[in-house]
């Protein structure tokens, strides 16, 4: 007999049991379910809804069930449908009618809302910690490469010289925003729904604030309908996770490109590369490629959650059982990707000479040549035109701007050009001259690194 079977005259078909059951995936909520039930039972005893001695017996027995589950001595039953009914069934088996008092004043609707919030709060913190480790690796690489020059790109075309340090700190900012988003998402997850009942609360004098304190929630939900039907916090976390994966994917794409012979900017450590089954010379950046590929999986989880919720009337509907597999998969994927990506990045060998050589070609100093003319009093658009024609001439002669003699530069550009032009368009000066806040100059990047360290220490 199912715990809800009083109204029924016959049992459910096995196909229905299998179809309806969620224990295969929500069993991971066992700890949160038991901790929530202990807090609920303690509160019931405190307010006198059940005898304090009965409350203590329930709490003690639940604590032992938790120990037994973690010891691997309990097998969950599909016929009990979900983790909530499995735990309650175990409780009743052990202490009889006293165990049947546990569910007083609550519903599986607010119970599952509680469990998933507790679980996502913990996962949010764990993923944040993983991101902090990645941020520290980025800081380390940035410190080591303040003056490592490479070409910056737009449209995948060499554009202007920057530094590897500046490039790494761009990703630092992306993951910083990810951490901030997770922190903001945490605030909306950190609200206790227990006490909402099935949809309309309860007539029992529950002390919701007591339960919130016991379980470490910052507050309680203010509307019982919303308390059981809200999954915004799960969708929001899936969105945060999707953005994390998007940033990892962009980074992975660059590392895949950089590790190619065509770029030759980086070599992956053997521990984070694979070979070919047929081509013995190959060293493939499979970790980066898999991270890039798994990003679409997390996007799919987000879209699945949004689609599940888009047409549901208030309050709880069984459709919402489908929220768990999607958010669990998104979490599992990010938890898998972040550590291996961080280790891969930490062991990368950056080929500084190749980076510098690449920055030396492709006229990455052309903008600085135009800026030089502007500083001499030539309007920018005219300076742009002069520089463009100069680049065209250089292309025809397979030369760089710095290879053209001063007399030719004067004839093609302006008599205002002087010998100092060669220093002004050197790669080092192109970088050092961009010392504005947020720029690639060592002084600006050092300040960015310093700010990043201070921010990390404040977490």
Choose, from 73, 155, 277, 396, the residue flagged as catalytic. Answer: 155
DSSP 7: G
276 tagged catalytic: yes
Q: Cβ contacts of residue 374 below 8 Å, gap of 6+?
A: 380, 383
DSSP type of residue 44: H
Q: Report the distance separating Cα 447 and Cα 453, nearest Å.
A: 10
- Structure tokens given for 211: 């339960």
What the block records as the tokens of 33 is 């379910």
At 329, list the tokens: 């998969």
CA distance 263 to 155: 16
**β-bridge mates for residue 149, sequence order:** 163
Q: How many CA atoms, within 13 angstroms, populate the side-chain half-sphere of residue 403?
A: 11
Q: Output the six-digit token pair for 379.
A: 């309007």
The two beta strands, 349-350 and 266-267, are: antiparallel
Of 179, 182, 181, 169, give the one whose Cα is nearest residue 137: 169
C-alpha distances (whole Å) from 353 to each of 27, 149, 275 are 53, 9, 26
Catalytic residue among 24, 218, 260, 276: 276
Distance CA 276, CA 264 (A): 19
Q: Cα(183)–Cα(179) distance, rounded to whole angstroms?
A: 6
Alpha-carbon span 268 to 346, nearest angstrom: 10
Q: Do the Cβ atoms of 4 and 79 come closer than 8 Å?
A: no
Q: Is 84 a catalytic residue?
A: no
Using CA atoms of 353, 367, 398, 402 in order, give the dihedral in degrees to the nearest 10.
Answer: -70
Torsions phi, psi for 219 (to 5 deg)? -170, -175
Mapping DSSP to helix (H, G, I), strand (E, B) and coil, where does residue 412 land? Answer: helix
| Alpha carbon 426 to its chain's center | 39
**Active-site annotation, residues:** 155, 276
């Amino acid at each position: 007999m199912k715990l809800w079977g009083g109204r029924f005259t016959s049992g459910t078909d096995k196909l229905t049991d299998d179809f309806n059951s969620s224990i295969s995936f929500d069993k991971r909520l066992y700890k949160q379910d038991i901790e929530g039930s202990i807090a609920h039972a303690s509160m019931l005893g405190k307010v006198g809804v059940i005898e304090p001695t009965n409350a203590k017996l329930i709490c003690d027995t639940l604590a032992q069930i938790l120990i037994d589950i973690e010891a691997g001595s309990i097998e969950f039953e599909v016929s009990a449908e979900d983790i909530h009914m499995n735990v309650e069934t175990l409780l009743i088996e052990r202490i009889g009618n006293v165990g049947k008092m546990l569910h007083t004043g609550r519903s599986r609707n607010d119970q599952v809302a509680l469990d998933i919030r507790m679980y996502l709060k913990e996962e949010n913190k764990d993923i944040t910690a993983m991101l902090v480790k990645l941020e520290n690796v980025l800081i380390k690489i940035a410190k080591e490469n303040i003056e490592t020059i490479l070409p910056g790109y737009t449209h995948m075309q060499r554009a202007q010289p920057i530094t590897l340090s500046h490039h790494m700190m761009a990703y630092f900012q992306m993951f910083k925003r990810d951490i901030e988003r997770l922190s903001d998402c945490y605030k909306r997850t950190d609200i206790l729904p227990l006490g909402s009942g099935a949809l309309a609360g309860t007539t029992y004098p529950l002390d919701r604030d007591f339960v919130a304190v016991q379980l470490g929630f910052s507050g309680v939900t203010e509307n019982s309908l919303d308390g059981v039907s809200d999954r915004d916090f799960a969708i929001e976390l899936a969105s945060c996770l999707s953005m994390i994966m998007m940033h990892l994917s962009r980074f992975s794409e660059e590392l895949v490109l950089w590790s190619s012979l065509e770029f030759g900017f980086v070599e992956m450590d053997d521990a984070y590369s694979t070979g070919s089954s047929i081509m013995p010379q190959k060293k493939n950046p499979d970790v980066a490629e898999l991270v890039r590929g798994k990003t679409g999986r997390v996007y799919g989880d987000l879209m699945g959650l949004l689609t599940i919720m888009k047409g549901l009337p208030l309050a709880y509907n069984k459709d919402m059982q489908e929220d768990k597999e999607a958010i669990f998969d998104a979490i599992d994927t990010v938890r898998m990707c972040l550590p291996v990506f961080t280790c891969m990045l930490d062991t990368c060998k950056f080929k500084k000479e190749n980076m510098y050589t690449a920055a030396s070609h492709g006229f990455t100093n052309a903008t600085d040549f135009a800026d030089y003319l502007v500083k001499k009093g030539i309007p920018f658009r005219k300076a742009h035109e002069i520089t463009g024609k100069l680049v065209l001439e250089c292309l025809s002669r397979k030369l760089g701007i710095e290879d053209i003699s001063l007399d030719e530069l004067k004839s093609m550009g302006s008599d205002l050009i002087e010998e100092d032009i060669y220093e002004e368009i050197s790669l080092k000066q192109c970088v050092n001259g961009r010392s504005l806040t947020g720029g690639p100059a060592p002084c600006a990047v050092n300040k960015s690194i310093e700010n990043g360290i201070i921010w990390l220490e404040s977490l």
